[in-house]
Amino acid sequence: QSEQSEQSAQSEPPPPAGPQESQPGGPAAKSARIRLLVLGGVTIMVLAAGATYALVHSGTGQPAGGGQKAAVATGPLKVESVIPGPGTAQVDGTAPIAVSFSEALAANSPKPVLGPSVPGSWTQDGNVLIFTPATAFRPDSRETVEVPAGLTGVRSQSGTELNSPVIEHFATGGYSPLRLAELLSQLGYLPLDWAADMPAGMGHSSGATWDQATGQVQMAYDPPAGTFSWLPGYPSVLTSMWNPNQANPLLTGAVMAFESQHGMTINGAVDAQLWDKLFRAAASGDRNKNGYTYAIASKVAPETLTIWHDGRVVMRSLANTGIPVSPTVDGTFPVYLRFRFQIMQGTNPDGSSYADPVSFVSYFNGGDAVHYFPRGSYGFQQSLGCVELPYTSAEEAWPYLTYGSLVTVAG
């Protein structure tokens, strides 16, 4: 009957722990702008949009600077360029950093300083220093490249120094929502399958040994192409909400379901902790243990609640929704709070208060919940916004309406 939750009640804690192609960057991918920069003898391809960098040696049969004497510059040492360039945004966090100097540095010269720092290594190729990160830069972060100067700064092979420090900044991009959809599908948190067009690591490792942790981060920045396929048995109202390239109720519910099974706060936040746990789950094959549930509360008389689980209807029951002065709001919402038993408290439309015992409670939108409430009959507007069920139906629905399960109210 009531719509306000009192959480001092007995609550169930969160549990422990038609095909569609997915293209990197999504079907409306940003147009790529490619620049070829020659620094010393190293050609650096900059793909702005995904901010991908390819370091290519000159075509002499040797790396530029390898077996060739570097040109000796006159005057003080200078920084000629830093890539990613000053103010560059949406940089791939796995891409290298290249600093070009007016002449080659001494072997024992200090190196540029990165902040925040990440593990990685600097290598020299002629006049160019290249930093290759062993661990990706954090997504959506501002990074600094500082080239130190003076007596403690960088030095050239001829002993010249940089007159003043050079400090440049760039910003990494966020992980792709498309990759979020791919991982959640692979792990069984969505009513779709996803298959990559090629095995993991191919096209992302340039022939190197595939590293699961590094590879997952790289694919989060630059999702591999693949195909989403709907699992059979779900209604069109659910399939119509799907878009793998942007936020939607299916992704939000899947994130919350994942959070509930991995001991996280159930809030649907796509943050660094979520990505880290997703990467670990993908590496270990840790799949959804609850299956996929979807429910529709129909306000068309007689009112009903229908539940699908893993593609088949597992329950259909008469139900009560909200009266005209306190209607059940239309929309699609994820289950975010559950109680096996609760004393619901609130205020009636006439201003009086109530405190009603209810069972099998699954909150999905503010104070609106699916739950048992005793009535003489069901199938029409009687509640203050909740979806009320007979006892046996509520008991049957309870194990299916787990955290993140979507409830659509319509009619």
Residue 24: cis peptide before it, omega within 30 degrees of 0: no
Q: Give mean pLDDT, residues 385-390.
A: 98
> What pLDDT shows up at residue 267?
96
Confidence of residue 200 (pLDDT cuts 50, 70, 90): low
The whole-angstrom separation of Cα 22 and Cα 50 is: 16
Supply the pTM of this predicted model. Answer: 0.74
Contact 95, 48 (CB under 8 A): no
Is residue 238 within 8 A of residue 191, CB to CB? The reply is yes
CA atoms within 13 Å, Cβ hemisphere of 92: 27
The Cα 144–Cα 6 span in angstroms is 48
SS3 388: strand
Domains and CATH numbers, the chain: 1-25+176-411 (2.40.440.10), 34-172 (2.60.40.3710)
Using one digit for the tens of pLDDT, what is the confidence trace for 103-128?
999 999 999 999 999 999 999 999 99
How deeply is 354 buried, as exposed, middle or buried, from its count of CB atoms within 10 A (0-12, 13-18, 19+)? middle
Split at pLDDT 50, 70, 90, the class of 198 is confident
What's the whole-number mean pLDDT along residues 387-410?
99
The pLDDT value recorded for residue 25 is 41
- Mean pLDDT score, 13-31: 42
Determine the average pLDDT of the residues in 289-310.
99
Mean pLDDT across the stretch 28-42?
A: 41
pLDDT of 135 over the 90 cut: no
Q: What average pLDDT score do residues 52-77 get?
A: 48
